[in-house]
Amino acid sequence: MEVKVLKNSCYSIERRLCLRLFLFLALYAIIGFAVLLLSNYVLEVFPSSVCTWISQRLDVLFALYLIIGFSGVFYFYWKKPWGYLNEVMNATEIVYEQNDHTIELSEPLRAVENQMNQIKMSVLLSQQAAKEAENKKNEMVMYLAHDIRTPLTTVIGYLSLLNEATDMPVDQKAKYISIALDKSERLESLINELFEITRYHTNTVQIKKQSVDLYALLSQVIDDFYPTLSAKGNTTEISMEDDLTVIGDPEKLARVFNNLLRNAASYCYANTEISISAKKKGNYAVVIFQNCGPTISEDQLNTIFNKFNRLDAARTSDTGGAGLGLSIAKEVVNLHGGEIIAQSQNEKVIFTVTIPLSN
């Protein structure tokens, strides 16, 4: 689109230059002809040998006037496009400069100037977004790498105690083994987060669509999270219309609902219920996850699906991940031709997923 606009601008400049050239030439010729007529009149009014000599050569002088004038005008307008080209060439160097300097061109190039400034702004915004994403990724990797040391140190410490104290009481030994196992599982989770970052950047998500029983899929996801939910005293309540079958990749959709339920389990209040409902709406199935938890501000909702985005509370929590779950969920839902949105008010957090139904 921008290239087309630039081409149209070039055509407009060409037409304006041609019009100016023809008008200037016509005006120059008219002025010369008027001077010729005036000169003839003056020479007739004041007859003399000099005036007669000049009068006999007026046609030659007028021809020289036209030749010299036209040559000058043509040369001037022949140089104009080259001057404009040099301006545009110099401006292209400014487009990719990482500063707020605007491009300024001659008056006939105003349309080109505006387009080039818009391109520069787009480039700056893209570079800024890429830099912010890279900074977030680096920050998250550093955070996870640092956090890995804590459970690793604990595991090594308790295993060392078990190795050194061979006569340790059975109860105490069981306690140390339990702690070491718990920290090992936490360590595994953090390492998986690091692999998640790598996979997210190197792989393109591909889906293989088929008919999927939505109730069976959601029930399986809930069963997988039963131990996690029970630990905080949370329960799930599922409410669905009958015969909800969607078209999609069951593995990828399970990943979406897994991420949403993990998010709900991580940030909901203890001893509260997580509600999951699904219903038909036109040619789509609408799945809603709702949990009781701290209200998410509007600013945070606007960026909640961004890569490496994490709520502030997640950074001090053992449940905090790399901030990829919701971003991946949105990508998968979009690939299915659906939509996912987040809402929050009155200590309620709601995620709504829309997926096409199977025909």
**Residue whose C-alpha is closest to residue 45's, from 60, 55, 35:** 55
Report pTM.
0.51
Alpha carbons 337 and 353: distance in angstroms, whole number: 11
pLDDT in tens, 272-331: 999 999 999 999 999 999 999 999 888 888 878 876 555 444 434 444 444 567 877 888
Q: 8-38 in b/e burial notation, b at 16+ Cβ within 10 A?
A: ebbeebeeeeeeebeeebeebeeeeeeeeee
Directed axis angle between helix 250-267 and helix 214-224, to 10°? 50
Segment among 232-236, 251-255, 310-314 with least mean pLDDT = 310-314
Q: What is the pLDDT of residue 201?
A: 54
Q: What is the pLDDT of residue 198?
A: 61
Alpha carbons 329 and 256: distance in angstroms, whole number: 5
Separation in Å, CA 217 to CA 174, 212, 235, 254, 283: 37, 8, 18, 7, 19
pLDDT in tens, 81-134: 677 677 777 777 777 777 777 777 777 677 777 888 888 888 788 888 778 777
Cβ neighbours for 332, distance < 8 A, ≥ 6 positions apart: 205, 207, 249, 252, 253, 255, 256
| Collapsed DSSP state (helix, strand, coil) of residue 285 | strand
Residue labelled with tokens 């595994």: 188
In this structure, the number of other CB atoms found within 10 A of the CB of residue 91 comes to: 19
Cβ neighbours for 186, distance < 8 A, ≥ 6 positions apart: 151, 318
Alpha carbons 328 and 170: distance in angstroms, whole number: 45
Contact call for residues 356 and 338 (beta carbons, < 8 A) = yes
What distance, in Å, lies between the first and last C-alpha atoms of the chain? 37
Alpha carbons 131 and 137: distance in angstroms, whole number: 10
Residue labelled with tokens 């199935």: 285
Separation in Å, CA 258 to CA 274, 286, 340: 13, 16, 14
Q: Which long-range contacts (CB under 8 A, 24 or more apart) does 11-20 make?
A: 12/111, 13/84, 13/108, 13/109, 13/112, 16/108, 17/77, 17/80, 17/81, 17/108, 20/77
Helices (H) and strands (E) in the chain, counts: 10, 7
Segment among 47-51, 164-168, 220-224, 260-264 with least mean pLDDT = 47-51
Separation in Å, CA 158 to CA 144, 161, 170: 22, 5, 14
